[in-house]
Structure 1
Amino acid sequence: MNDRARLPKYLAVHDDIRARIQAGEWAPEEALPAQRELAASYGVTIMTLRRAVQLLENEGLIETRHGAGMFPASRRYHYDLMHLSGFAEDLIAQGARVDTEVLGSERVVAPTDVARALHLRSGEQVLGVRRLRRIDARPSVLQLSYLRWDVGVSAQDLHGASLYEVLARRGLAVGSAEESITVSVLEQEQAAVLERPISSPVMVSRRCSITEDGHRVLYDRALIPADIAELRLDRGPDRLVVAYHLDDTGRVGL
């Protein structure tokens, strides 16, 4: 904080705590140090610290829970199922930090459900891609995608771009999709990747993406832990909005 010596003390403290929160120093549901401890660490009075805390609360960066302390404020995102934008792109536009890790990719015989969805013959091969999505550094979505092999996508094409972007570069713009959502529980290996207990409930999204000229090119199966997501329908006389709502603290509710 030496470079901020000219700032009022409470603003210098505010700026430093804000930077630490945004850097992810405290995990979701991890309490910040007590106010007296923070005041001592910054060498300020408790009243100065409280002014900084009040400003952080006003900005929506922290929340104080009676009897429990201060916590990073929960951030909620929604993913509109009525549009064809990619999952990561939708959340990034809302200010989320979305990191995608490619866990593996290989050429495989299309599983029965994949072959059926992509209108493939028995025994035809696809490129299987396994990815982990982290939202604000927390493992949040485990996704297994299958692309028709004749599309010509390689493992090298997958880094740093969404699958929809990769397809568009090949003149295969996605124009529609069929999607179903069911519920299940995590198996041991899935639970380990998502850092959740075995048998934790998950929403399972299965989506078949179809190009503008009617070719079925991509099938996705995504596991989304139920502790961070819910499915909402917003009904009106002339509208219907279906969307995932994701909460990075693990608390789902209205």
Structure 2
Amino acid sequence: MRSQDRDRNRVPLYLQVASVMRQRIESGHWSEGDKISTIEELEAEFGVARITVRQALDLLRDDGLVESIRGKGTFISGRPKEKHWFNLANDLESVIESVRDNVIKIVSIDEQAAPPLLQAGEGVLAPDYVQLRSVQFSRREPFAVANLRLSREIYARDRRTFNRKPALPRIMEMPDIDVARALQTVTIGVADPETSELLRVGLGEPTADCRLVLVDSANVAIYVAEFHYQRNCFALRRDLVPKPAKTTRKLAKAG
């Protein structure tokens, strides 16, 4: 493999090439039925070895996006699955409603979990945490992997529900839980080996990562969750025209 092939970054080159080509299909740069560049042209364009281009095309072919016809070339044969149906909510009540009916599959539970690393403003640690790792599904397809560290004291109150359903709505139903702050951070990441397997995406493919921390009235971080969303399902939509100010209210309990 060429030296430049080794030096770019740790995401496999064929995944990088496949990602660019998939974006061209998604954006309409390549339409269904179009003949795309030859392997030799793609090799020159991306500055990669021929085997890298072939591996990228194999991924797109497996996704039903391209087909090769002997003696004629490679053609766009389909469109990516429905995109950007999941819009990240920007207030706590909307977040709760967006996850309430999610179907989850618990991957692992660690009742002796290490505490989360808290950022400035995220409160102080609870005495102990339970870690729940799960996959969330829509239409029987996985769209997010969640890593949640939940105060063990809260987990022990209703472990059966926490092991079967999204934790956030149940927490907000508890009458003595007073959430003072709900801190949300959104970043761009890549799928590590476990996440790529659980989401059924390529290793190193981009993900939309959301961190949500609930801090109670005693300044304790009772809920620290990290969600990794498939990039094709995720959107962040905001109305940038200011709305008239509303009366500030205390965070309401859901339910």
Q: What stretches of structure 2 of length at least 5 have no aligned partner?
A: 1-62, 66-75, 246-255
Q: TM-score, normalised by structure 2?
A: 0.55
1:40-60 alpha-carbon deviations (Å, 9 max, x no partner): xxxxxxxxxxxxxxxxxxxxx
Q: Which runs of 4+ in 1 moved over 6 A?
A: 69-75
Q: Is the 8 A contact 2:110 2:132 kept in 1?
A: yes
Q: Counterpart amino acid of 1:90?
A: S
Q: How many residues align?
A: 170
Distance in structure 2 (CA, Å) of the matches to 1:175 and 1:100? 27
| In the alignment, structure 1 residue 90 sits paired with structure 2 residue 98 | yes
Distance in structure 2 (CA, Å) of the matches to 1:72 and 1:182? 23
Higher strand share: 1
Question: For the aligned residues, what is the CA RMSD?
Answer: 3.6
1:105-141 alpha-carbon deviations (Å, 9 max, x no partner): 11212133389845127xx531101111011111100
Identical aligned residues as a percent: 12
Distance in structure 2 (CA, Å) of the matches to 1:72 and 1:152? 36
Structure 2 partner of 1:129? 132
Which of 168, 176, 190 is 2:195 aligned to? 190
Structure 1 partner of 2:110? 106
Higher RCO by CA contacts (8 Å cutoff, separation 6 or greater): 2
Q: Is the 8 A contact 1:164 1:174 kept in 2?
A: no
| In the alignment, structure 1 residue 181 sits paired with structure 2 residue 186 | yes
Which of 191, 206, 209 is 1:204 aligned to? 209
Q: TM-score, normalised by structure 1?
A: 0.55
Q: CA deviation at 1:175?
A: 5.2
SS in 1 for 2:201: coil
Q: CA deviation at 1:169?
A: 2.9
Q: CA deviation at 1:90?
A: 2.0
**Distance change >3 Å, CA 137–CA 128, structure 1 → 2:** same
Q: What stretches of structure 1 of length at least 5 have no aligned partner?
A: 1-28, 32-66, 241-254
Distance in structure 2 (CA, Å) of the matches to 1:115 and 1:129? 24
SS in 2 for 1:193: helix
**Distance change >3 Å, CA 161–CA 69, structure 1 → 2:** closer
Which of 140, 145, 166 is 2:143 aligned to? 140
| In the alignment, structure 1 residue 162 sits paired with structure 2 residue 166 | yes
Distance in structure 1 (CA, Å) of the matches to 2:80 and 2:196? 26
